[in-house]
A and B are shown apart, each in its own frame.
Chain A
């Protein structure tokens, strides 16, 4: 299991479009990928789950991956979040 904490860098936070990008990325890997906002942990391959997190811009989320390609999965999903989803940054 690999875990990393990361700040949501875009202004609007993880709304539907960023959630869709996270889900698409996470679905590329065999590993289970989870995102947590410190209260709830959700499956990163579920758009409903990721939207339920309501991770606002500037808050910290914890991403973890577990499985045969966990390092790559963690790296890939973190990159998507760090990129700010191509949106206006905080």
Chain B
């Protein structure tokens, strides 16, 4: 359900109802009125203060949640006061409103919603969890995203996004990983979404779990390797670029140089693996995953550990020559 959202800014209230209406328990009281309005933000607003007349900084472009506070306050008013209070809110172009906790909305709320062409929903859900679910859902919808040409595999729990020029052998390397019990998220095309400060990758709902192998056509990974060989989504921990062997000469051999690449504004650790006949890229990818795990757990790589030991030895052996 999560992958096929229309790209913002065309995500409308109707889209939200279609994709999350059941989860949020939304029941519409205003028919098709105002459902075409686009949602502009993943945040919601509580209109309580605005009802009292403090309209400064009122966020009318967000979904307005009428919880127990708002509804009991409105109920305590007489009809005229209630109309005036609601007019404070609906003087703005309210995108839509939701009455939570199964509360019954005052007649005037329904009235003013209809008049201003703004949809009104009911939900039986408690206010705070409802707000959390709405913002959680909309955050995903509005999350920055990017399609990346590459393959995403879960290797020992590490999300390895394998990229490189076409025909360099990404799919073949991934096939090897699957055979060794690792899990495919998507081959060839990965949809990457930024979620706070992590990146999450998934595949297109139709083509994910298929791989194209030159000479063999398409294979269905869960049928070939079992359902355990696939996974719906995975955090991206490491970017591995397969490069042609002629780049080998320019590469750092000390293992001390760490590289990163920028994906959707986040820095992702990057390693480059030269592809040569006789180099088992699958095993190298496994080792890359383990290196990344070790680095995260201990803060240093084996290259750094070895060099530290060497530097200590060199210090003891230093020659007699002193600085001038």
Contacts and interface: CB of A to CB of B under 8 A. Distances in A.
Nearest to B255: A16
Given A7-B321, A56-B319, A16 B314 contact: no
Interface in A49-86: 51, 54-60
A20 B314 contact: no
Nearest to B317: A56
A24 B310 CA distance: 19
A35 to B, nearest CB: 15
A19 interface: yes
Interface stretch (B126-134, B150-158, B246-254): B246-254
B318 A20 contact: no
Given A16-B256, A17-B254, A17-B256, A58 B320 contact: yes
Interface residues of A, number: 26
Given A13-B318, A28-B249, A54 B313 contact: yes
A16 B307 contact: yes
Given A7-B319, A90-B322, A57 B314 contact: yes
B306 interface: yes
A27 B251 CA distance: 12
A23 interface: yes
B303 interface: yes
Interface residues of B, number: 23
A47 B320 CA distance: 26
A12 interface: yes
Contacts of B256: 16-17, 20
Interface in B224-252: 249-250, 252
B317 A16 contact: no
B249 to A, nearest CB: 6
B6 interface: no
Contact of A56 (B250, B307, B314): B314
B303 to A, nearest CB: 7
Contact of A20 (B249, B254, B313): B254
Contact of A16 (B250, B310, B319, B321): B310
Nearest to A9: B321
Nearest to B304: A16
A89 interface: yes
The 7 closest A-B pairs by CB, nearest first: A58-B319, A56-B317, A20-B254, A13-B314, A58-B321, A16-B254, A16-B307
5 contacts: A8-B319, A51-B310, A54-B313, A58-B320, A90-B318
Interface of B: 249-250, 252-256, 303, 306-307, 310-311, 313-323
